[in-house]
Amino acid sequence: MTGFCNGIITALATPFSEEGVNLEEFGRMIEYQIAGGTDGVVVLGTTGEPATMTEEEKESVIRYAVEHFKGRIKLIVGTGSNDTKKAVAASVKAEKLGADGVLVVTPYYNKCTQEGLYCYYKAVCDAVHIPVIAYNVPSRTAVNILPETAERLADIPNMAGIKEASGNMAQVVETMRRIRGKLDLYSGEDFLNLPMLAIGGAGLISVTSNIAPALVKKMYSLVKEFRLDEANEVQDFLLPLEDACFLEVNPIPVKAAYNMLGFNAGTPRSPLTELSDDNKLKLKKEMQRAGLIK
């Protein structure tokens, strides 16, 4: 299927306090996304640190997002696992709680075959009625959705797209060729947002849009309006900020950036650490240059 959510989807960070998830601040962060023109948010994706959250915390995040923001912005929940049964159960739960769709990362650590990947996604899709987006990020999972597998996935009725973060544009172009008109492609690499849109990508699932949603949305809109010279100017302006958002492993810089913006995002949970002082200065400089802070 195509057309589930075109535009900018922010891979949202989760704000933590000493007591747990800071739901009030979580709401403020989604309001910031809506004000910036974002079309959807992914909660409990990689940027949201679900690996260090309890099941109760995860449910509270989904419930809060649905209760306060359903109908105002597309709500997509990260439900992937290295266990197919767990991915299915998490996806079913997200649907029952009111999610608009789910983002399902490839099964990590197990290093399954391409047939295993297909069966994993087929099981999730068969268990729910809402749209499913596959997430290909081999640098984290050691598993890569090859173009021919993406083509097979496109035949599953409620498979809605692939978030591509392989970083291999040759592969992405071939995947796009095979799924065009049948399945949407989403950029999962902020550095490659513009070229992925240029080959027909439906949207971006972005980390940088956590802190600069309006700028990222502007670049997206310019591409879709075929104003590529202007889109390139915006992307050139964004690139140093995107670099700063990955000075250390995601979401370490983004949480620091939220705090610089005046949010109370807290700190990443162990084993992740706070952004180093040197990198905080670099991040602050880029945020100032981009006009996000003074």
Let me know: does 234 contact 222? Beta carbons within 8 Å.
yes
> What separation, in Å, do the N-terminal and C-terminal C-alpha atoms of the chain show?
44
- Token pair, residue 253, equals 């810089």
- Token pair, residue 15, equals 């704000």
Alpha-carbon distance of 261 to 251, in angstroms, equals: 15
Which parts of the chain are beta strand (E)?
7-11, 16-17, 20-21, 40-43, 74-78, 101-105, 132-136, 159-164, 184-187, 203-206
User: Which of the following is catalytic: 163, 217, 218, 255?
Assistant: 163
User: Which residue type does 119 have?
Assistant: C
User: Which of the following is catalytic: 120, 135, 186, 258?
Assistant: 135
Strand pairing partners for 43? 77
Which one, of 5, 66, 24, 10, lies nearest residue 245 by Cα?
Answer: 10
* Three-state secondary structure call for residue 196: helix
Alpha-carbon distance of 289 to 284, in angstroms, equals: 9
Known catalytic residue at 280: no
Known catalytic residue at 121: no
Alpha carbon dihedral 76, 138, 269, 284, in 10-degree steps, equals: -90
Query: Annotated catalytic sites, by residue?
Result: 135, 163
